[in-house]
């Protein structure tokens, strides 16, 4: 075991503070990564605050991890010391259920092992995340990062990136389709970039006219104000697919009305009950309302390769580790464009 520096919350709604943790020794199939950058996801704040009632303290958040390989087990084949590598939301799964066998570990029937706050045999009894100097992970859950990508801005791809890329690929978004991205935040800005890169006519759907300029810079062809009833009525029945990244409870009926016959709206933002769905909107348009979470390991690797090909990274604000509490406060107030990333060299 190795003791390393980390940041943790010790109790509900606690301020983050330095906390030494122990990492397991590198086993035969393990990879040790020295963390260079770690993205700050809204999920991190939810766990610190125990918003979902499942946090085990102390909690060391962070599941958007990029760094250099510093040690490998004797049976590791795909990585060597010095490689640029990444770890996302998962570090293990059962590997045996139908979903795992089909490279859909995020839907593991036994439940995947999350990068932090999951039961483990490792020191501490629960997984510790990327707000730390290093991480030890089994090779099957380690990702290769193309060297051409800007390293710091790559970190959020491990959650925000794959969360938006996966449904766009699953519903085969491509040239000739009209695609709406609802909500311009950490997820939404990646959805705009990906949909545009996939060739779709990309429309940013937002409540805020002030976001129109940013949306176009990110690749949106048009901007639709969801508060403009006339504009929404004009676009009714025009969209093949809508990626809904709105992170809180909201009315979904205005967005469903935008879908064509056989159109789909996929929810990736709100992890909570949504307002009542009008089944008539689904029945009379043969529309679908669906959901999606992250992506499997193979798909996440394909996303990273796609990002290298298209030169896609997240829009970030780089912070020091000791600025994380300020960053959480700003995140709660939606005061970031569009993701915070921690420079882990600032962690003593």
My answer on whether 21 and 139 are in the same domain is yes
My answer on whether 205 and 302 are in the same domain is no
- Measured CA to CA, the distance from residue 251 to residue 116 in angstroms comes to 32
| pLDDT tens-digit map of 288-315 | 999 999 999 999 999 999 999 999 999 9
My answer on whether 69 and 181 are in the same domain is no
How would you write 8-30 as a 3-class SS string?
EECCCCCCCEECCEEECCCCCCE
- Measured CA to CA, the distance from residue 34 to residue 344 in angstroms comes to 9
What per-residue confidence (pLDDT) applies to 210?
86
Instruction: Show which of 244, 272, 291 is a domain's final residue.
Output: 291
| pLDDT tens-digit map of 125-172 | 999 999 999 999 999 999 999 999 999 999 999 999 999 999 999 999
My answer on whether 55 and 143 are in the same domain is yes
My answer on whether 165 and 175 are in the same domain is yes
My answer on whether 186 and 328 are in the same domain is no
My answer on whether 187 and 304 are in the same domain is no
The domain that holds 35 is classified in CATH as: 3.90.180.10
Domain of residue 338: give its range: 2-159+295-346
Per the DSSP assignment, residues forming a β-bridge with 71 are 32
The single residue listed with the structure tokens 């045996």 is: 96
Query: By three-state DSSP, how is residue 112 classified?
Result: coil
Question: Is residue 78 very low, low, confident or very high in pLDDT (cuts 50, 70, 90)?
Answer: very high
Q: Report residue 291 as tokens.
A: 């959901």
Give the chain's radius of gyration (CA, Å).
Answer: 20
The single residue listed with the structure tokens 């937002």 is: 206
My answer on whether 149 and 189 are in the same domain is no
Q: Report residue 104 as tokens.
A: 């859909």
Instruction: Show which of 275, 291, 307 is a domain's final residue.
Output: 291
| pLDDT tens-digit map of 163-215 | 999 999 999 999 999 999 999 999 999 999 999 999 999 999 999 888 899 99
Number of domains in the chain: 2
What per-residue confidence (pLDDT) applies to 283?
95
């Amino acid at each position: 075991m190795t003791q390393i520096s980390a940041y943790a919350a010790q109790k509900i709604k606690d301020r983050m503070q330095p906390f030494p943790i122990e990492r397991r020794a590198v086993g035969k199939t393990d990879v040790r990564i020295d963390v260079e950058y770690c993205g700050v996801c809204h999920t991190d704040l939810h766990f610190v605050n125990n918003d979902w009632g499942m946090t085990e303290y102390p909690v060391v958040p962070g599941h958007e991890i990029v760094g250099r390989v510093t040690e490998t087990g004797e049976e590791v084949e795909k990585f060597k010391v010095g490689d640029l590598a990444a770890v996302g939301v998962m570090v293990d799964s059962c590997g045996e259920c139908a979903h795992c066998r089909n490279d859909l570990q995020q839907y593991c029937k036994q439940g995947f092992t999350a990068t932090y706050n999951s039961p483990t045999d490792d020191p501490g009894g629960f997984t510790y995340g990327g707000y730390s100097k290093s991480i030890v992970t089994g090779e099957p859950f380690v990702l290769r990062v193309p060297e051409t990508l800007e390293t710091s801005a790559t970190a959020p791809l491990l959650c925000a990136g794959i969360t938006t890329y996966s449904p766009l690929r699953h519903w085969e978004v491509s040239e000739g389709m009209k695609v709406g991205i609802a909500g311009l935040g950490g997820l939404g800005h990646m959805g705009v970039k990906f949909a545009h890169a996939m060739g779709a006519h990309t429309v940013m759907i937002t409540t805020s006219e002030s976001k129109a300029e940013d949306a176009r810079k990110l690749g949106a062809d048009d901007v639709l104000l969801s508060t403009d009833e006339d504009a929404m009525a004009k676009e009714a029945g025009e969209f093949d697919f809508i990626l809904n990244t709105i992170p809180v409870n909201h009315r979904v009926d205005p967005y469903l009305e935008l879908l064509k016959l056989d159109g789909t709206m996929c929810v990736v933002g709100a992890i909570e009950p949504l307002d009542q769905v009008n089944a008539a909107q689904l029945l009379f348009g043969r529309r679908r309302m669906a959901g999606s979470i992250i992506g499997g390991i193979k798909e996440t690797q394909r996303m990273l390769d796609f990002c290298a090909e298209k030169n896609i990274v997240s829009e970030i604000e780089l912070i020091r580790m000791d600025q994380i509490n300020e960053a959480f406060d700003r995140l709660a107030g939606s005061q970031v464009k569009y993701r915070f990333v921690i420079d882990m060299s600032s962690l003593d």
